[in-house]
A and B are shown apart, each in its own frame.
Chain A
Amino acid sequence: MAYLSKSPWIIHYDASSCNGCDIEILACLTPMYDVERFGIINTGNPKHADIFVVTGSINEQNREVVENIYNQMPDPKVVVAVGICATSGGVFRECYNVMGGTDKVIPVDVYVPGCAARPESIIDGIVTALGILEEKRKKMPLGGSEPVPHHKPHTNADTKGGAK
């Protein structure tokens, strides 16, 4: 049975975002948009989460945190990059300390560009992610007891010669 897409729990991490996209994500939880009607809950605990929502660009400081959260989430899981900074680094991509979008460190499934991304497009992105989540579940070993190989951590050697 496909319960996964009826009960997606989210963890939201703010990697160096300006808070614009974060406010829009929180707006999705308000009575105006009310994403809980789809069973979506903002958990704040990676071990309970199914969808990892990242805002803001990746830099040397938050790279490990993003990888750590991603690796703590039980499979199946999807990553949604919200906002243009999480998608590609946005206007900050030329900065000396910015590595770029979220896909520089973890595999991203859905990109929601925008500055800031509107709540409607964030909800659309999450709903798209639900389809991918369901596909990933079908590919999982039977019963989900077999651990799926975890994402290989990013090393410093990969960023030698500039992060652009």
Chain B
Amino acid sequence: MINIVWAIIFVLVAPVIGGLVAGIDRKITAHMQGRVGPSVFQPFYDVGKLFEKENAVVNETQIFYVICYIIFIAFTGALFFSGGDLLLVVFALTLAQIFLVLGAFAANSPYSYVGAERELLQIMAYEPMVILTAVGMFVVTKSFNVADIAASATPVVLLLPGIFLGFLYTLTIKLRKSPFDISTSHHAHQEIVKGVTTEFSGPTLGLIEIAHFYETVFLLGFIYLFFGFNPLVGVIAVIVIYLLEILLDNTNARVKWQLAVKSSWMIAAIVGVINLAVLYFLAGGA
């Protein structure tokens, strides 16, 4: 069932694709703001630069946690693209995020602490919806295996419109885009210094950036899963949804964490659960 070739391809190619997506993101953002913007290869220059810097660490444990973070993010994506169990993918993703939070807590800095606490709140905010998504996919395709869901002829998105909307809502949190970039944010929208990444510098920060590239590709793959019945529609949907995320990022201010948690739970409870209930009754309520 699990295709090891795809896992290896993911581990090798995902940072390149993720970096390019981040570069295109910055270019489009700049154009939306009437600027020229950096080169699309800028994220690679940034990571290259970070590896040229001095490795100044506050606490040696930080490096260990960051390495665990990148390993588990890569594992999450590799398991997903090799067609593994969706539930295991979701749990591995959570574990990876927890390592980042532990890394931020390892340095005794108020900004890092606030960032780590907000990161935990973000995990709390999106987790119910992500698990509901996995459950919803099981209900319509009768399988938790990514390979089966992707190959299924069932139009997943048409049977799970509510869950799809709820997933898109939490996707903004996962991609750290406004209005939900509360724990840290990319580029220059600074608040609480740099939140969860404040105390990381040089090569350690470079590893976190690469982990973000992996995460972006994994999330884009997750969107595709809703459109697995038609690959062309799937790829177009992934591109359109990412462009919408960029538009949302540039037109919204950051919200308070209370609103982020409340609204994402509310959406998970309303559209996610109603969607599952409708499917249950349509199936005969057995």
Contact = CB atoms under 8 A, between A and B. Distances in A.
A3 B48 contact: yes
B188 A29 contact: yes
B37 interface: yes
Helix, strand, loop or mixed for chain A's interface?
loop
Q: How many A residues touch the partner, as a band?
A: 20 to 34
Interface stretch (B49-57, B76-84, B125-133, B274-282): B49-57
B45 A6 contact: yes
Interface stretch (B91-99, B168-176, B197-205, B253-261): B197-205
Interface stretch (A88-96, A100-108, A109-117, A137-145): A137-145
Contacts of A147: 54, 56
A44 interface: yes
B36 interface: yes
Given A36-B30, A37-B38, A47 B198 contact: yes
A137 B36 contact: no
A4 interface: yes
Interface in A116-156: 137, 140, 144-145, 147-148
B201 A47 contact: yes
B190 interface: yes
A62 B197 CA distance: 26
B42 A48 contact: no
A68 interface: no
B67 to A, nearest CB: 16
Nearest to B201: A47
Nearest to A40: B38
Given A36-B35, A37-B35, A45 B45 contact: no
B28 to A, nearest CB: 13
B194 A74 contact: no
A12 to B, nearest CB: 11
Interface of B: 26, 30, 33-39, 42, 45-46, 48-49, 51-56, 187-188, 190, 193-194, 197-203, 205
15 contacts: A4-B49, A7-B48, A31-B34, A34-B37, A36-B26, A36-B30, A39-B39, A42-B188, A43-B188, A47-B200, A48-B194, A75-B53, A75-B54, A76-B54, A147-B56
